[in-house]
């Protein structure tokens, strides 16, 4: 399914540039000329991403962003702000409202595509099916930080992945290492002596073999100067210390545009198994929602005759999780795919407390659910 991108800008020229930039890609562009129109179009079209100008008549980008984030139906839509050079500081101030990135006008089409592709998977038209890397692929990550404890934290925090984490403490060592071994992504301290992290970044970008490697900066949260400089020179993202490992893993996944659907969907013994994680975060909701319809259609097209919604690891069901399960059940019903639920005692109790879900029936395990769906009628 093509991604839908909403561009909100009072400049028709900018909207034309955005349309032109995405013309080679399988994307649908919808437009609005101010914040009021932008909110209306966002509500109607439910875009996958919004490109939002700051300075506009009627309602500016800041007010629209505030209203967007206050609307439960729209707040998860990622936003990239567009600003003139003089508005860069303002963007940094409003970043706390929740934006994915920003672009300074005038901008080149390549930069726009690069920024958007870090948030969405955009495919070229007629490009054919390309093999997309997944979170279960063996990736090589380089960590350049002179603090051994940071390197160790990252290695420990990502040891549940198949990724190989190589730690180095000095810029020269990093250059030697990356010259011997190709890397998929680099995590670079912004507080190295003599701005070693920035020197390493420039060398990576000057080398045709490494210029496209995502580079994530590591900076103390209060070091606004280093963070701002990293964004100016083009670091892919900046991660604050102390490091939230879950957030770091998410940023790595997005920077490399990895397919995460295998975390939740699998085909086992004739059934599509859709498994929710213990803690369902907004990131999980976005990942699953994006893949849900495609995975169900793919399963049915390949002859799968049953679906299992496995909630046995979930530690509690809130409204967002319930909406997601209801969405899955509705999609399965639309394609006549019978489904069974698997849940633990907590999930069962939570669902009994909601009117819409109190009648749901749960199997205790996947095998019981599969047997109820696939057993021949007696």
d(CA 68, CA 39): 7
Count Cβ atoms within 10 A of the Cβ of residue 13 and give its class: 0-12 exposed, 13-18 middle, 19 or more buried: exposed
Measure Cα distances from 152 to 65, 144, 245 in Å.
38, 12, 12
Q: What is residue 87's predicted lDDT score, i.e. its pLDDT?
A: 66
Strands 237-241 and 215-220: parallel
Q: What is residue 282's predicted lDDT score, i.e. its pLDDT?
A: 77
d(CA 21, CA 111): 10
Q: What is residue 156's predicted lDDT score, i.e. its pLDDT?
A: 96
pLDDT in tens, the chain (378 residues): 578 999 999 888 888 888 888 888 888 899 999 999 999 999 888 898 999 998 888 888 888 988 988 888 888 888 898 887 666 677 777 777 778 888 888 887 778 888 888 788 777 776 555 567 898 999 999 999 999 999 999 999 999 999 999 999 999 999 999 888 889 999 999 999 999 999 999 999 888 788 889 999 999 989 989 988 888 888 888 999 999 998 899 889 888 888 888 889 999 888 999 999 888 887 778 778 878 888 998 888 888 889 999 999 999 888 888 988 999 999 999 999 999 999 999 999 999 988 889 999 999 999 899 888 865 544
Q: In this structure, what token pair is assigned to residue 333?
A: 């019903």
Measure Cα distances from 288 to 43, 73, 262, 341 in Å.
21, 16, 10, 17
Q: In this structure, what token pair is assigned to residue 228?
A: 């701002």
Model-level pTM? 0.59
Q: What is residue 280's predicted lDDT score, i.e. its pLDDT?
A: 81
Q: What is residue 139's predicted lDDT score, i.e. its pLDDT?
A: 94
Q: What is residue 85's predicted lDDT score, i.e. its pLDDT?
A: 67
Q: What is residue 370's predicted lDDT score, i.e. its pLDDT?
A: 87
d(CA 259, CA 240): 25
| Residue 119: Cβ within 10 Å count | 18
């Amino acid at each position: 399914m093509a991604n839908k991108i909403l561009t909100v800008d009072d400049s028709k020229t900018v909207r034309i540039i955005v349309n032109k930039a995405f013309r080679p890609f399988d994307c649908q562009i919808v437009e609005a000329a101010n914040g009021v129109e932008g909110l209306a179009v966002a509500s109607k079209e439910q875009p996958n991403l919004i490109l939002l100008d700051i300075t506009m008549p009627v309602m500016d980008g800041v007010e629209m962003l505030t209203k967007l984030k206050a609307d439960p139906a729209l707040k998860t839509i990622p936003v990239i702000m567009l600003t003139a050079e003089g508005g860069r500081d303002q963007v940094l101030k409003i970043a706390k409202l929740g934006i994915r990135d920003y672009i300074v006008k005038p901008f080149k089409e390549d930069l726009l595509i690069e920024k958007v592709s870090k948030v969405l998977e955009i495919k070229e038209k007629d490009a054919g099916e390309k093999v997309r890397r997944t979170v279960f692929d063996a990736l090589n990550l380089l960590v350049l930080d002179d603090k051994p404890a940071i390197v160790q934290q990252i290695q420990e925090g990502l040891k549940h992945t198949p990724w190989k984490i190589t730690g180095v403490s000095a810029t020269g060592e990093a250059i030697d290492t990356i010259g011997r071994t190709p890397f998929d992504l680099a995590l670079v301290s912004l507080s190295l002596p003599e701005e070693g992290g920035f020197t390493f970044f420039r060398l990576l970008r000057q080398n045709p073999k490494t210029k496209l490697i995502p580079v994530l900066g590591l900076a103390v949260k209060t070091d606004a100067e280093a963070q701002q400089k990293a964004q100016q020179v083009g670091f892919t993202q900046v991660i604050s210390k102390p490091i939230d490992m879950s957030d770091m893993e998410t940023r790595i996944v997005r920077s490399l545009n990895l397919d995460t659907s295998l975390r939740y969907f699998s085909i086992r013994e004739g059934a599509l198994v859709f498994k929710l994680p213990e803690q369902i975060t907004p990131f999980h909701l976005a990942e699953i929602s994006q893949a849900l319809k495609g995975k169900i259609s793919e399963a049915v097209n390949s002859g799968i005759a049953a679906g299992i919604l496995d909630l046995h690891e979930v530690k509690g069901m809130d409204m967002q999780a319930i909406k997601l399960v209801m969405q899955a059940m509705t999609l399965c019903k639309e394609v006549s795919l019978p489904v069974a639920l698997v849940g633990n005692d907590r999930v069962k109790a939570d669902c009994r407390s909601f009117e819409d879900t109190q009648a749901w029936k749960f199997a205790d395990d996947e095998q019981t659910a599969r047997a109820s769906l696939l057993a021949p009628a007696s």
